[in-house]
C-alpha cells in the first residue's frame, strides 16, 4: 500500500469564507532533488475548462520548465503528467476519471512516473481521498490555491517516497512573480482577480476558487507592459467577474480604471472575460467606446431570459435590467458583438420561462453563445432543489441550439463585404495554404495567404459566411502587412527603444552639436595644413582632442555601446522574415 501524506484536504465550506488577503511572492528556487529528477525527463499537461485553468496550466508549465523538465505533447512519453480538471459541469468532471485510468500504463512502464491531479475538481469535498484510494499511481493532488507550491510538493513526494494531497481550502493568497510559459507567442491571458463573490445558486466556482481577491493595479499594468515590450499583440484580462475588480481594495478603484491603464500600455488589442451584466457601469461603457484598442466584443452571460429563473439562480438582475444595459452599450458602441452563456433545464424553469430565453436571444442578437444543460453541483443550493426531467432539458437544449445557430448565422451574414483587421493564428489545420485568425468581433476567419503572416495583423475582406466561420480574402499586399509587423516589433523591442531614445537625445544635445561643429572646423584646418610640417602636427592634435571629447561623451558612449546588440536584434528580425 502506498504511503499518502494528507497535508490539507478540501473543505468547500471554509473555501467560501472570506479570510484577510495575504500578498506574497512565489519562491522560485528549485529544490535539488527535483532538479536531479527533471534531468532528461519531460512533462505533459492536459487542461479542461475555462481560461482560468488555461492560465494555471501556463504557470504550472513555468514551474516545471524552471525545474529543468522538457515538454512533450505525447502523454505516453511523459515522465510527469498533470490533469488540470474543471468542476463547472458533471460531464467535464467525468472525463477526468477515464483519463486517470489511462496513465496506469505509464506507471507500469516507468516506476518513477508521477501523475498530478490539479484544478477545481480537487477543491471539492472528499475527491482527493477517494482518488487516492482508487488510483494508487497518483503522486500528487493539488487544489487551485496550491499551484504555486507545485515544485515544493513534487520535491516532497520524491523525498518522502509518498503520495501527497495538498488542497488548501482558503483564498487568502495573491501570489506575484509567478513563473510562466505562455501557450501563445502573441496573445496572452493576464489574471486580474481570483475567485468569485457572487454565489449564483448553480455555480461551484466560489467553493473551489474561493472568494474574490484582486491583484494590485500596478502589478497587472507592469505585467502588461512587459508583454507589450515582448511583442505581444493581444491581451485578455481574466477574472470570474471582471467588473467587480478592485472593490475589495475599498479605495474607489474600479475595473474601468484598470482597463484604461492597460489600454494606455499600447497593446494593439485588449479584451476581457467575464463581465457581470449589471455591474457593467457607464464608466466602463465610456472607456470601451473611447480606446480604439479595446475590442468591440463583449462576453455578457445572461444565463436565462426569465426574470423568475434569474431570481432563482441568484443573478442580481431581471430580464429588463439586462436588456437595458445591452441597449445602453449598443447605443454607445453600435458595432459591439455580444456573446453569452445560457443554462437550460434549471430547477423551476417552465416552458414559458424557456420561451423567454429564446425571445431574449432574438432581441439581443447574439453573435454566438455557449449553451449548457443545468448540471447539479454538490454543495451548491440548487443541487438540493427539485430537478427538471432530463428529457425536458435535452429537448430545450436542442431548441436553444437551433435558435443560437440562427442568431450566429445572421450575425455572420452581416459581416459579408466588410473588411476586418485579423490577428493571424497560423495555417489552418486542414489546409496549410489557408490561414485562420479572429476578427475583433470574435468571428473566426479563414483566408488564403503565406504562412509568414502568422502573428501579424492583416486586412481581410469577407466573401462568404458560414454559421461558425467566415471566408475572406487578403485585402492588402502580404509583404506590406509583414513590413508593418516588423516595424511594430522594432518599436516594442526594449533594446531598440532605448537605442532610439539615446539617439534622439544625441541629436538634441547642444554640447554634442557644438562638439560636432568644432570637429568639422578642426577637420577643415587639418586639411588646409596638410603638407605643412609646422602647422600640421598642431592641427592634428587639436582635431584629435575634439574627437576624444566626442568619444568620451556619456550620451554618445552609451548609444554606441548598444549598437552591436541592436545589430544582432536586427539580424534576428531579418531572419524571421525569411
- Residue 343 in contact with ligand 5AD, rule: CB under 6 A: yes
The span of 370-378, 393-401, 436-444, 486-494 binding ligand 5AD (CB under 6 A) equals 370-378
> Which of 190/203 has CB closer to ligand 5AD?
203
Q: Provide the 3-class DSSP secondary structure of residue 395.
A: helix
* Binding partner at 210 among ligand 5AD, ligand SF4, none, C-beta below 5 to 8 Å by kind: none
Fill in the DSSP letter of residue 386. P
* 240, 306, 340, 375: residue in contact with ligand SF4 (rule CB under 6 A): 240
Q: Which is nearer to ligand 5AD, 240 or 489 (CB)?
A: 240
Residues in 192-251 at the binding interface with ligand 5AD, rule: CB under 6 A: 202-203
63: its cell numbers: 514551474
Q: What is the DSSP letter of 293?
A: T
206 binds, among ligand SF4, ligand 5AD, none (CB under 5 to 8 A by kind): ligand SF4
Q: Which residue is nearest to ligand SF4 (CB)?
A: 203
Q: Is the peptide bond before 252 cis (omega within 30 degrees of 0)?
A: no
Task: Specify whether the CB–CB gap between 27 and 179 falls below 8 A.
Answer: no
Q: What's the min distance (Å) between Cβ of 169 and ligand SF4?
A: 17
| Residue 89 or 443 with smaller CB distance to ligand 5AD | 89
Which does residue 240 bind out of ligand 5AD, ligand SF4, none, counting CB within 5 to 8 angstroms by kind? ligand SF4
Measured from the CB of residue 315, what is the shortest distance to ligand SF4 in angstroms? 7
Among candidate residues 146, 198, 168, 242, the one with its CA nearest the CA of residue 11: 168
Q: Which residues 286-315 are close enough to bind ligand 5AD by CB under 6 A?
A: 301, 303
Instruction: Please state the closest distance from residue 363 (CB atom) to ligand SF4, in A.
Output: 22
The contact pattern for ligand SF4, residues 263-302, with x = CB under 6 A and - = no contact, is: -------------x--------------------------
C-alpha distances in Å from residue 392, one per residue of 259, 305, 307, 346: 42, 17, 20, 11
Cβ distance to ligand SF4 smaller for residue 193 or 241: 241
Q: In the set 197, 219, 283, 341, which binds ligand 5AD (CB under 6 A)?
A: 341
CA–CA gap between residue 226 and residue 244 (Å, rounded):
25
- Coil/strand/helix, residue 447: strand
φ, ψ for residue 16, nearest 5 deg:
-85, 0
Nearest to 298 by CA among 286, 310, 285, 307: 285
Cα gap 376→89, rounded to integer Å? 8
Which residue shows C-alpha cell 495575504?
22
Task: Number of residues interacting with ligand SF4: please give it, by CB under 6 A.
Answer: 10
| Of positions 205, 270, 361, 422, contacts ligand SF4 by CB under 6 A | 205
The reply on whether position 55 binds ligand 5AD by CB under 6 A is no
Q: Name the residue with cell 463573490.
A: 197
Nearer to ligand 5AD, 37 or 372 (CB): 372
- If the CB atoms of residues 241 and 408 are measured against ligand 5AD, the closer one turns out to be 241
Residues forming a β-bridge with 460: 420, 474
Show the beta-strand stretches assigned E in 134-289: 138-142, 163-166, 173-176, 187-191, 193-194, 213-214, 234-238, 269-273
Residue 170 binds ligand SF4, judged by CB under 6 A: no
95-to-49, 87, 168, 342 alpha-carbon distances in Å? 12, 11, 24, 22
Instruction: List the single partner that 377 binds among ligand SF4, ligand 5AD, none, CB under 5 to 8 Å by kind.
Output: ligand 5AD
Q: Which does 372 bind (CB under 5 to 8 A by kind): ligand SF4, ligand 5AD, none?
A: ligand 5AD
Nearer to ligand 5AD, 50 or 518 (CB): 50
For ligand 5AD, the binding residues in 77-96 under the rule CB under 6 A are 88-89
Which stretch of DSSP H or E encloses residue 100? helix 90-102
Q: Residue from 97, 199, 249, 385 that binds ligand SF4 (CB under 6 A)?
A: 199
Q: How far is CA 418 from CA 421, 465, 491, 553, in A?
A: 10, 11, 29, 55
d(CA 323, CA 364): 7
What is d(CA 17, CA 320) in angstroms, rounded to the nearest whole number?
Answer: 32
179 binds, among ligand 5AD, ligand SF4, none (CB under 5 to 8 A by kind): none
Q: Interface with ligand SF4 by CB under 6 A: which residues?
A: 196, 198-200, 203, 205-206, 240-241, 276
Q: Interface with ligand 5AD by CB under 6 A: which residues?
A: 88-89, 202-203, 301, 303, 341, 343, 372, 374-375, 377
Amino acid at each position: 500500500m502506498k504511503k499518502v501524506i494528507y497535508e490539507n484536504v478540501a473543505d468547500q465550506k471554509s473555501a467560501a469564507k472570506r479570510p484577510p488577503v495575504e500578498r506574497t511572492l512565489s519562491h522560485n528556487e528549485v529544490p535539488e532533488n527535483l532538479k536531479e529528477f527533471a534531468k532528461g525527463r519531460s512533462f505533459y499537461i492536459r487542461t479542461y475548462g475555462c481560461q482560468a485553468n488555461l492560465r494555471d496550466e501556463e504557470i504550472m508549465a513555468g514551474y516545471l520548465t524552471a525545474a529543468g523538465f522538457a515538454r512533450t505533447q505525447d502523454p505516453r512519453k511523459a515522465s510527469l503528467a498533470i490533469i488540470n480538471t474543471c468542476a463547472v459541469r458533471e460531464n467535464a468532471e467525468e472525463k477526468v476519471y477515464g483519463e486517470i485510468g489511462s496513465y496506469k500504463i505509464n506507471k507500469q512502464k516507468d516506476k518513477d512516473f508521477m501523475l498530478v491531479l490539479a484544478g477545481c475538481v480537487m477543491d471539492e469535498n472528499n475527491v482527493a481521498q477517494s482518488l487516492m484510494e482508487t488510483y494508487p499511481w497518483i503522486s500528487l493532488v493539488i487544489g487551485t490555491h496550491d499551484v504555486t507550491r507545485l515544485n515544493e510538493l513534487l520535491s516532497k513526494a520524491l523525498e518522502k517516497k509518498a503520495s501527497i494531497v495538498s488542497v488548501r481550502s482558503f483564498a487568502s493568497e495573491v501570489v506575484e512573480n509567478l513563473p510562466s510559459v505562455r501557450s501563445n507567442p502573441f496573445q496572452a491571458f493576464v489574471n486580474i482577480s481570483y475567485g468569485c463573490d457572487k454565489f449564483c445558486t448553480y455555480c461551484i466556482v466560489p467553493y473551489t476558487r474561493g472568494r474574490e481577491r484582486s491583484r494590485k493595479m500596478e502589478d497587472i499594468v507592469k505585467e502588461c507592459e512587459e508583454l507589450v515590450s515582448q511583442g505581444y499583440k493581444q491581451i485578455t484580462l481574466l477574472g470570474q467577474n471582471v467588473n467587480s475588480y478592485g472593490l475589495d481594495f475599498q479605495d474607489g478603484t474600479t475595473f474601468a480604471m484598470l482597463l484604461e491603464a492597460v489600454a494606455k500600455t499600447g497593446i494593439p488589442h485588449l479584451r476581457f472575460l467575464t463581465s457581470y451584466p449589471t455591474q457593467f457601469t457607464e464608466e466602463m461603457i465610456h472607456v470601451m467606446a473611447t480606446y480604439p484598442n479595446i475590442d468591440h466584443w463583449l462576453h455578457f452571460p445572461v444565463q436565462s431570459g426569465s426574470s423568475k429563473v434569474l431570481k432563482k439562480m441568484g443573478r442580481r438582475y431581471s430580464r429588463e435590467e439586462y436588456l437595458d444595459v445591452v441597449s445602453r452599450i449598443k447605443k454607445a458602441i453600435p458595432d459591439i458583438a455580444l456573446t453569452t452563456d445560457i443554462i437550460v433545464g434549471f430547477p423551476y424553469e417552465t416552458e414559458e420561462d424557456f420561451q423567454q430565453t429564446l425571445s431574449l436571444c432574438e432581441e439581443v442578437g447574439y453573435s454566438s453563445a455557449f449553451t449548457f444543460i443545468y448540471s447539479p453541483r454538490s454543495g451548491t443550493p440548487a443541487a438540493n432543489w427539485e430537478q427538471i426531467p432530463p428529457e425536458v432539458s435535452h429537448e430545450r437544449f436542442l431548441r436553444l441550439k437551433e435558435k443560437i445557430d440562427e442568431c450566429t448565422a445572421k450575425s455572420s451574414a452581416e459581416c459579408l463585404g466588410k473588411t476586418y483587421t485579423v490577428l493571424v493564428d497560423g495555417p489552418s489545420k486542414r489546409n496549410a495554404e489557408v490561414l485562420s485568425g479572429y476578427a475583433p468581433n470574435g468571428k473566426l476567419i479563414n483566408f488564403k495567404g503565406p504562412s509568414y503572416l502568422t502573428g501579424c495583423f492583416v486586412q481581410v475582406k469577407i466573401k462568404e459566411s458560414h454559421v461558425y466561420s467566415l471566408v475572406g480574402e487578403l485585402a492588402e499586399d502580404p509583404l506590406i502587412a509583414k513590413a508593418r509587423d516588423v516595424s511594430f516589433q522594432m518599436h516594442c523591442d526594449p533594446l531598440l527603444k532605448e537605442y532610439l531614445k539615446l539617439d534622439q537625445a544625441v541629436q538634441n544635445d547642444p554640447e554634442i552639436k557644438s562638439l560636432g561643429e568644432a570637429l568639422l572646423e578642426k577637420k577643415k584646418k587639418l586639411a588646409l595644413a596638410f603638407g605643412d610640417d609646422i602647422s600640421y602636427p598642431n592641427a592634428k592634435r587639436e582635431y584629435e582632442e575634439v574627437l576624444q571629447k566626442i568619444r568620451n561623451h556619456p550620451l554618445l558612449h552609451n548609444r554606441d555601446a548598444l549598437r552591436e546588440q541592436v545589430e544582432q536584434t536586427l539580424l534576428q528580425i531579418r531572419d524571421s522574415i525569411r
